Structure 1
Amino acid sequence: MVRSQFIVVSDDQALIQKAQQFGQMHGVPVQVQSPEQHQATVTELPSLVAGNSAVGGTGTGEGAKVLQFPGNAGQSDTRRGVATINQLESVAIEQAIAAFKGNLTEAAKALGIGRATLYRKVKQYNIDPAMARKKKAA
């Protein structure tokens, strides 16, 4: 069973509130961490996953993908310096597609969404997965 979770790393209360609303709309639990908390989590993640397997856990960490989100997406609302959820989602999708070299099935799994949903979002945001495949061939 796949369990999706949306982790927001920010000190910006407006962004946190938008992310929580997004999570509620899509039925995904939202966990909020400060940048310092997130760094500590990333540092101890390998030992947590190893510990889960060592104590007879189900190994749910196996195959999990952690995609780094840029600190500054570069596509922000110039009025407040905050990127919209759609901009963040678009960047995350582009990164996942690039990370899996154009393999949309694997990118969808890493994002925690269905393949059909990813295809719809790729079309919605005018993302060209062929660019990632071309980088793979080069």
Structure 2
Amino acid sequence: MTQSKFIVVSEDPVLIQKARDFAANCGMECEVRNPNSQSHFPSLASGSNPLDTNAGYSNNIVPFPSQSHNSKVAKMNDLEAQAIEQAIHAFRGNLTEAAKALGIGRATLYRKVKLYNIDPSSARRKKAA
């Protein structure tokens, strides 16, 4: 069985340690290279662009997880707040029915409404209009 290799091109010791920990957790070999040494990788592009696949490198290059890559992922609190708002509007402000639909208790729904600053009266106003 061939072992995957994780190549890190950085001078940042914190990033290098994170990469080594990541590789160790995944059972991969971690190789650290100096970004100033162009001889190891002549077709390496700057930024997040992959290596030139025509140079004989494999095309399965994966960027190391970073904050910039995770910015497109919604946070659980945001998703939960959206689900609560949608349920409240679907049941026209009836919090007891919204809680049942969400599969949580009424007291839990009240607590989360307060936590996320959701105004259930806006759904009731739409009901009257």
Q: TM-score, normalised by structure 1?
A: 0.43
- Work out which of the two has the higher radius of gyration on C-alpha atoms and give 1 or 2: 2
* Structure with greater helix percent: 1
**Of the two structures, which has the highest relative contact order with CA contacts closer than 8 Å and spacing of 6 or more?**
1
